[in-house]
Structure 1
């Protein structure tokens, strides 16, 4: 587990504080048993995440960290308390291994205890109102309603500041590495680095150090503390352990390492590496348990097969023996005592005579001969038993083969296992265009408003004298501009009219067609007649209107640059494009988008799904493919 010293926490707080201060809490997640992820937003910066790992570390990143799909009750309670709050300040609490995030509201603060065992608590006026882990034992009870008490303070050196006569702070009876690590709060890796640079045996007793050795230790410690003021972050990889450091360490120089731009990035890299190693170890454990269970199953079956083989062998031997003396059974019941003795002598098995029954026993095999039946009929029962045993053994052997194959596959899976913790940068969202756009089959650009505001923006800023303006003859219609429409053909105007009708309220009302009028730019005015009021987002049309009747039918197509797009059905047909038809209906946009991408054989991605969903009028439609209804 990644551990940070007080000095490292000071470095990290100084690095992270400028980003975190004045950021808003967008969401909260509890990850595992001991970590909380705050999704933050800061104007001018954007969205980023802050991970607080109790008893371990913290870091800030612009990547999306792994999170549970379903929030726990603990998560829900913390979300309710801090979501939407603005962070006033992040600080280190009294140079302890505790960081405090203060909020602007209600004197709230979130504390993360980074020393073992670690905890996260939310305070209001220094009283606990939420705790990741609650307990009442000892001198520091942590529970809702209790006043929060800091742990007993311990001395820790600060970056850049070498305390005077610090040797007086060290336990003289301890090894020098333990004294530097514990008594100065330096931490093991920096204590080892100081002693390596000083050339002093780390196991030397503190009280036995010569003055020259003390001077060298003081010089090396001073250098390390100065370097902590100007960090050069690096991560060292030692077996499955990842060690973040704010300075380059000679003590770990022989291990694989990587430098990072920030100490926060170094801590994150180490934290996620160790998380991956823990997941790998857990995966190994589960596979080993599976192999042990399979080997037990195989062992159990082998034991049963061995027992059944022995019984089958005894039966077969007994059958052979009985057949070899079958003449003795022909008139057995005339002299049963005498012939029973002869059978015991010739067959070599135990015989039991009981009135009208004769029992022969050889190992696990038993033969019963009844008075009045032939020896062959009696043997028939043994043959059936042998047959059953053979079938059972064959079935068990097949199961053993399958189990052994499963063991081999599991062992191979264990050898090949490689676990990484997936983090990804949030995808830069494409800015939403203020208008819908497409090109007609004749190559003319068409711009369609999305709402009342964009309708006015379109007509005021993007309308030229050679364009045409289209509008459905129904309230709740987009304004559509057919660029260079004065030169467009009747087919191009029909296509522009069709998409205008489809994005009008006629779609929501499930009309099959709608009237669309077409006018010149000079006929559009934003000034109402004298004495009348023009509602916001409205415009006036004066003069003669040319009407077109448009069917409410769209086509989802795959375009090379735009991907999955929705265009008028007339356009798709005239360009001979493969398409899925959309008409007014009741299927939700999400379900329809998945169906469309599947029918168009386009690999389903979240980006394509969201893009296609946004293009479906009013978020509902029916889906047709090759004139057959797929979704109503």
Structure 2
């Protein structure tokens, strides 16, 4: 599992973050353990730069919620940065470093965020001298001390965009294989080094010094291509999932992960935040569950000791039982031994005037061979009892660990719930059943008789088309601007109306659906008659279509929200999907099946309640994709 950003990730972050936060004002600074949070305000929105020491940096709309008493370092950052304007954000020397230039009344300040060597946060003044730092360090090749000029840490070897001569030099001098040479001397992570090898078509385990010049040229070209993709903003943010867990991520799709489940994002920053969100929650909760972690470590140490003791007692019992069976088979020899004769027995036996010692077990004299064997088996059973008691104690300790884990989970869930998400504004049509046709036309439908009333009275406009299944009881469906729509959209709206009608629960496979223009629908009944809620008068000719009852439910590719509607309108837009028809499986069970399928395919756990609202009734899944 990937645990930290590489130089390509940093480059992609800088490119995207610059467009998001440049010109914004730093409203506040928070130092939450190993996480630094910068609250950035602009005219349009409030954003947060989130940096975790030695791991990642991203921009998010989500407020991490819990604000603590500022540390001494945080107070210094607030003093120099709060109220300042972000002038630029950049990646020095193509390394795992992010630098934020901030303009304030006191002049320009620089906030340097290092990701290497466990990470560091360094505040520089306008002369680029160190004002303060998360930690002051003094390495052989990199020093961060107060009131000293700051210099960047040296790059490992050289940059990946170095000249061909540099590549030839490092490869000819390398004693390692190709992938390690790329990682060690060209500042590439292991992941990027493997990707360069894959794109260049050079076996990663080949000896570096044995490569031909053309092969080294291909490696350099592959590295330059990766960098140019980010520089030219040709991003394809991709999250990789393995065994239903997040495995890695990249600003561009990597060929080395072609066989993993992928999830695409429109924003790289959004992807990074999603990938590391669990890590963020654990960091914010660390001081709250540290007591549990200490207890867990002690319990685990006790379990290890008990496991060793159980293993030892089981082995002793096994050996004694073996010896006991041998003695049992040689009782006549044992009797001779007790009578003072010399015999050859495959067991450790000592005999003196007062006792006989067999395999360390003392038996007082006088005795018999039978009693000696009995004592051996009794001792074996004693060791077995000790092993059994040890196993029971291990079970008890494991149960205590489970209880501690449950308490930790509750703390993590509480921290997660405290993260403030920006309020999602519901679009007017999301209160109804809805979808967009394959031609891009909006279709809405009432969920209830009351909603049917609203759909017709408030949202059925001239130029729209009205649809209803030819059965009592069903959704009033409106194809917005339907008079401009093609036959495909009309057919899809008909399928939608058929699926959300009583025909579904009746088990129909198809049904006639009629559609009319908006001015043919009226709530005014003939004289002397009455229309119930959700009922309408249709005047003039009706157009009939035979429509299948079939509904697709999918996760939309760009934002992973649940979408639903006729298969022809949904499948191409979905990362994964199921297709339903009327059946005999209860909708509660169907919703759980869909939830499990989506989770296995994407790692996203969809709320079953949201699925229950859109499943028309008892169903059968006929297709998964």
TM range (shorter): 0.3 to 0.5
Alignment TM-score, normalising by the size of structure 2: 0.45
Alignment TM-score, normalising by the size of structure 1: 0.45
Q: Which has the higher contact order (CA 8 A, sep 6+)?
A: 2
